[in-house]
Structure 1
Amino acid sequence: MSTVPRNRRTSIPDIRARKGGEPLVCLTAYTTQMARLLDPHTDLLLVGDSLGMVLYGFDSTLPVTLDMMIAHGAAVMRGAGRACVIVDMPFGSYQESPQQAFRNAARIMAETGAGGVKLEGGEALAETTRFLAQRGIPVCAHVGLMPQAVNTAGGFRATGRSEAEARQVTRDAEAMAEAGAFAVVLEGTLEPVAAAITAALPVPTIGIGASPACDGQILVAEDVFGLFSDFTPRFVRRYADLGSQIATAAAEYAADVRARRFPGPEHCFLPKAAARSAG
């Protein structure tokens, strides 16, 4: 349960102040109903561009558009009253220039009401992060395994295994924190490297496949709740198996419809006389 009072939303300063304190509880959310269910239990809800794979069936996050992120960001804001909501900037919406990033980030915040944006990249995006932060756009950085760079990296693989990789992800995290990022997501980063980065940074780290030493943890909600049966990433713990429950419920519904057990009289709108007789 968040430590922020129930009558106000968790703010960016609240998130920043949790450095070295009680771990931040973070999950993804893409819809109003999921946001309503998760909001009482989380400090931060991320409208991740992972929705491209989770909801739309894309092979990567690259096809996700700015309009998609804004639509889902607004939906989550309608369902979340307490958690800080952060919206991912999709591929191609910020890499061209700081000015392009500001225009698109400002549109996300204005049209969704979210508390800030998240963008992937380290040293190369530090100038952009500083440009946004200086103009009132709170930025959560994302370093380590970066899904938008999947083609460059040659797939989804953990980083920090070699000394060169460890130095690079450390430089990336430090550059983004120095540029004004209020938090840094560390994804798919070797545990000792992620722990060392967490100890060194002045802002919270949020781990996903990183380290228990991180200042917070985030997972894709659908992974946590078992809505995918074909693959569970190594770094995920399933807390429910809703996928199989949904499949079972769908099978029972189909059987009832085919056997004409559903709908029954109690599910129909009947004339008053017939309704009294049925009662």
Structure 2
Amino acid sequence: MRYTFMSFGIIIMLLASCKKPVNEPQRPLKQVTKISSSPTDFRSFTYDANKLLTNHTIQFINGNGTSVMSVNYSYVDGVINTAGAPGGSVFYETEGKQVKVVRNFRPMGSEISVINYSYNNKGQLIEWREKFSQPEPDQPKESKQTFEYYADGNVKRMMYYLKMANDGPFVLSGSTVYDQYDRFKNPEISFSGLVYLPSVVFQKNNAGRMRHYAANGELYQTNTFEYTYDADGYPATKLYKDDRSTVPILFTYSYQ
């Protein structure tokens, strides 16, 4: 078993799904270096000579000024080994190139939580469970997320659960469904919650729509994505629309 480290502060990328191709998920041949909505709001990605991600930076403007999160990664024999950022770190346990366990730590070293990951025989992530080390009395003791996939390998549904008592059951808190995908290559890197998972591909193709449901099954939010593509079949732009807002956001892609 191999042990690795990583930062605890990564934001989930916007995801979504039109038609479903038949090939298994695979890494794109073209690597994205930046996804931006403005010169000051972007995500950037840096790679080494072996095309392994070595830095992930998020920058955006908020009411308090500019927020920046930058995480650096290193590898041993192609397997993620260490990473760090001011916000904390994560201790990884891997089998082969699959992340099996991560332990989240604060900057001063105290443990926040432990996450266990489960995969199917196709190598697809199907479940993670996070147990919080020192939860507040009114906060969850554990959380769980499950993943379902279409036959082509694109993620179909994510279900979210919480456990409020140590000896209590997991209770459904909501779900997200991806019901449209295009047929073009998705260059975006897969993350699960706050953790970078190098071996996981949630979406081989680009999502066109995602629907968010409450625990009772009520639809409360729909996001749609419209793309333009470059000559290699990768997204050049992505127009993000939220049915709760009248202002769409246009993202542009840069590649190496």
Q: Which has the higher contact order (CA 8 A, sep 6+)?
A: 2
Say whether the fold is shared (TM-score over 0.5).
no
- Bigger radius of gyration among the two: 1
TM-score by length of 2: 0.30
TM-score by length of 1: 0.29
Which has a greater percent of helix? 1
Which has a greater percent of strand? 2
